[in-house]
Amino acid sequence: MHIKIQLPRQKHIASIIFQVKRFLVRFIQVFGIVSKTRIAPVRIAKVKELASKNKVEKKELSPSRNKNEQSPFCFGKLDDQFKEKLTWQVPERFNTKFSNARVWGTRGAVITKDNELVFDLSREFKVDRPIEHTIYATILLEKVRYYSGSTAVLASAGANVYFHWLFDILPRIGILEEGGIIDKVDNFILGYTGLIFQQETLGLLGIEEDKIIASTNNWKFHVECEQLYVPSLFSTHDMVSDFQTSFLRNKFLTKRKIPSKKERIYISRQSSIGRKIGNEEEFLSVLHKYDIMTYQLENLTFREQIELFSNAEIIIGSHGSGFSNIVFCEPGTKVIDLFPKSFINPCFWSIANNVELHYTYILTDNIKNNNNPQHDDIYITSEQMGFIEQVLSLN
């Protein structure tokens, strides 16, 4: 029996386009039509392969390992998104050093001097295959700007999102520190747009603005660096390791005032694009019985958010970046994370486990919003409100 295996149409077309572009790139390179640094990478490589060929210096700091998570408390049966991550793999942690390597795009794609895309240091969201990387949406790259001295790449996907900035980008500074590299760095490549939380956190970490090379224009950002340090990336699945949480707590949880009364916080998303609570007034009437106050975190400075969450005993709200601040909570704090059924992400569960918080999640009915499941609003049923009251009443 003859079986014909066919790729899905979209992936098949993407593969053909990639091969055509690769042929054009090789043609341009062979005939010297433009400089090698102007054409998209000819080859795709990973750090392990490059290190074996002495094309990069790699210093391992911590090997990959399995991490077991404590099962969350929930309304109904445990969702598969959580089941699948009860055990997950924490990636290897390491530093790399390249000579005359290049960095392209907002998210800091790394290219060797031999024009190889280092795929495991060049993350983009929802890109699992190298041929889907946006660098292959073009053939000719912008002319490079050259930087002498030592430069470090901190840029990665999601720099404008509070969660990704805190957990995917800033802890890479910790990897540089762990490897004894941070004091050697003259400049940092970052997707820096001057957002308030970016300014505040970098200021607290002692990184001056004049040391930042902002990779903000994706198609035009293209630099070559005499010495390039690139720390490893964290999990692609939004699960957070204890290294990431420890880095943030050690850097930002400084001496603080001990309040006479603990905070009880409801994180409102009324100013956000999506995941608002459709029956919020009814929900607030329940929360007020437990002295829970409403906060719109975008109105607070980074330091004020740290103070608020570090003094909290209850955090509740619709899933969103504001929950990132639970990393600053004291052990034993109750966290209640509300999801629309159309969008589930266990990231805050892993943070809660690292900091020893009591994490509960509830999957609510979703209200369609903007044809984007991530933006669907939520509706809390009376039964779910009763469950929330039970959790709030537990000692």
At 361-392, the pLDDT tens digits run 999 988 888 788 888 889 999 999 999 999 99
DSSP labels, 215-236: ---TTT-EEEEEEEEEEPP--T
Which has more pLDDT, 166 or 6? 166
pLDDT tens readout for residues 1-24? 333 334 455 556 656 655 665 556
* Confidence (pLDDT) at 39: 82
Which has more pLDDT, 121 or 237? 121
CA–CA dist 222, 285 (Å, integer): 53
Residues 186, 149 contacting (CB under 8 angstroms):
yes
Evaluate the CA torsion angle 385, 386, 387, 391 in order and state its sign: positive
pTM for this predicted structure: 0.89
- What 8-state DSSP symbol labels residue 375? G
| All CATH 3.40.50.360 domain ranges in the chain, comma separated | 263-393
Q: What is the percent of the chain where pLDDT is above 90?
A: 75
pLDDT tens readout for residues 28-66? 554 555 566 678 887 899 999 999 999 999 999 999 999
* Confidence (pLDDT) at 6: 43
E-strand ranges in 129-215 read 145-153, 187-190, 212-214
What's the full length of the chain, in residues? 395
User: Is 263-393 assigned to CATH 2.40.160.60?
Assistant: no
**H runs (alpha helix) in 146-235:** 162-164, 171-178, 196-204
* Confidence (pLDDT) at 171: 98
Which has more pLDDT, 10 or 82? 82
**H runs (alpha helix) in the chain:** 9-30, 47-52, 80-83, 162-164, 171-178, 196-204, 242-252, 280-288, 302-310, 347-355, 382-393
Banded pLDDT at 316 (limits 50, 70, 90): very high
